[in-house]
A and B are shown apart, each in its own frame.
Chain A
């Protein structure tokens, strides 16, 4: 078994990798522009602005306009990276995402900064926990959740090369690297990255929950329960094959995400299982508007921890 026995203590804000990569992409490709809603600082675009002042289009606090402007730029052949806090991008501009981006089939990368409960104490108005459900419901829109800096960068490469309409979470909550050293690429579109080959239980996680699932894998291994971890970095389209294989080869699946359970990753996995290989599963997510607290506190509050994942796995196996 080649599982990580633990994850590194060193953690990263994926926005840093995002910012570096965006500048590198823009250096190489004059079509790349950034469009934002007064979020130059929170989207970590200061360096981009300094390097390419004309190619940062800050429309002000106006998310509907922001996404529409991106569509106009895409109409002219530009590749816009639309950068805004996740709750406002996904919630305020949903109809523009649907009509102007997905239905219009434009190569636009909608970058949801600081998703999940990254804004902690700022409260539920600023939490982006419904975004995966809302965005999954839109046809012709790929939904990506890179789990670490390496995946973030590789997903951006893919986004530019593909020319697809894309919604991508860019994490603010610091996470360790979860990309195994032996991978050729940190991100493969539409493919789940599997760590370990345990046949007792499958731990299916996305984004901030991936490193926690790897920790849970180690906890369970110490008790003789062998798990595999499925890092789902493409939420849509979902890699059904890997999900079904895990269902066939294990006694059940734990699915964990920093988002609501209605319509997110868990719902996608559930439908895949029901249609192809019904299996026992437990779904962990954000089950109510959050109380006041930091991102870490809130993940703990909702049981979105290594311990929470391990507890759920034990119940499935036992």
Chain B
């Protein structure tokens, strides 16, 4: 990805050697090695996010950085998603319900080869396919047109029902924010998923404890969150959501015939010290100096 800053062309290195990553290779690695490789990918995704937001001078940096590890682990380490299988009816479905974190999704899809990494520099530019919230009709690999919150999980339930009806048995992973769970539609869908024993459905809650305006627990508290999902009839795993090894383990754990909720405890802004766990970084744009600092931390 190249971007122009004050007339200077800056080249962003893409790991490794400016080429899309070979995801098949990562998925086939032994678990421990896989987690290490995923960490490297996550770091690359974080660098891309920071640079996209810098170029666009807009975006949702806090949530992008908190959900990165879970998104990368699912997309590169677990799920069957690739440009080659993008139209395969039996492909796994990755649904980003927290659609404002499109920069994280676009970075993952670009590194996976769904579109050129260079395209990331058009993020939110006039007529770009990379809208501020994802559009499945414009970007291959996007499964749902999200943005308004509380939409992804019902769509995921429909996908999981379809998986069983068709006998094709694909996995559906839905990534939600934690503040997003204040939308009632999630709990409508949670009931349907448990009632129908959708053990092919996983919801990953990016539990960074911050929403746009304040901490979740100071706004409309979600705790005890694991118990909420369990009481709805879901299998629950609560893990460090910025740890690729823990994520890998949770994504592949036994589900006991139930849908699985992974409560991924994360830091909003993870990886950039001055952004981490600070409410003002929901969609604040870093200054040029802060961008340089952030990229240094992510080197």
Q: Which residues of B contact A99 (CB under 8 A)?
A: 145-148, 151
A68–B185 CB distance below 8 A = yes
User: Closest CB of chain B to A183's CB: distance in Å?
Assistant: 36
Alpha-carbon distance A54/B161, docked complex (angstroms): 10
Question: Which residue on A lies nearest to B143, using beta carbons?
Answer: A75
Is B136 at the interface (CB under 8 A from chain A)? yes
A96–B151 CB distance below 8 A = yes
Among A62, A74, A78, the residue within 8 A (CB) of B191 is A62
Among B137, B147, B156, B188, the residue within 8 A (CB) of A72 is B156
Q: Which residues of B contact A65 (CB under 8 A)?
A: 154, 157, 185, 188-189, 192
Which of the candidate stretches A100-108, A230-238, A286-294 sits at the interface with the other chain? A100-108
Which of the candidate stretches B69-77, B162-170, B283-291 sits at the interface with the other chain? B162-170
Query: 8 Å CB contacts to A: which residues of B266-295?
Result: none
Is B184 at the interface (CB under 8 A from chain A)? yes
Alpha-carbon distance A59/B192, docked complex (angstroms): 6
B188–A100 CB distance below 8 A = no
Query: 8 Å CB contacts to B: which residues of A85-99?
Result: 95-96, 99
Is A70 at the interface (CB under 8 A from chain B)? yes
How many interface contacts (CB-CB < 8 Å) are there between A and B?
106
Chain B: residues with Cβ within 8 Å of the partner, total of 34
Chain A: residues with Cβ within 8 Å of the partner, total of 30
Is B93 at the interface (CB under 8 A from chain A)? yes
Given the contacts A65-B154, A70-B158, A100 and B165 also touching, CB distance less than 8 Å = no
Among B137, B158, B163, B195, the residue within 8 A (CB) of A71 is B158
A68–B145 CB distance below 8 A = no
Q: Which residues of A contact B166 (CB under 8 A)?
A: 76-77
Question: Which residue on A lies nearest to B137, using beta carbons?
Answer: A105
B165–A69 CB distance below 8 A = no
Alpha-carbon distance A60/B189, docked complex (angstroms): 10
Is B150 at the interface (CB under 8 A from chain A)? yes
User: Closest CB of chain B to A165's CB: distance in Å?
Assistant: 12
Question: Which residue on A lies nearest to B95, using beta carbons?
Answer: A72
Question: Which residue on A lies nearest to B155, using beta carbons?
Answer: A72
- Interface residues of chain A, those whose CB is within 8 Å of chain B, are 33, 35, 54-55, 57, 59-60, 62, 64-78, 95-96, 99-100, 103-105
For this complex, 30 residue pairs linking A to B, each with C-beta atoms less than 8 Å apart, are A62-B185, A62-B188, A65-B185, A65-B188, A66-B154, A67-B154, A68-B151, A68-B154, A69-B158, A69-B161, A71-B144, A71-B155, A71-B158, A72-B154, A72-B159, A72-B160, A73-B165, A75-B93, A75-B162, A76-B89, A76-B159, A76-B166, A77-B166, A95-B148, A96-B185, A99-B145, A99-B146, A99-B147, A99-B148, A100-B144
- 4 other A-B residue contacts (CB within 8 Å) besides A69-B155, A73-B158, A73-B165: A55-B165, A68-B189, A69-B192, A72-B160
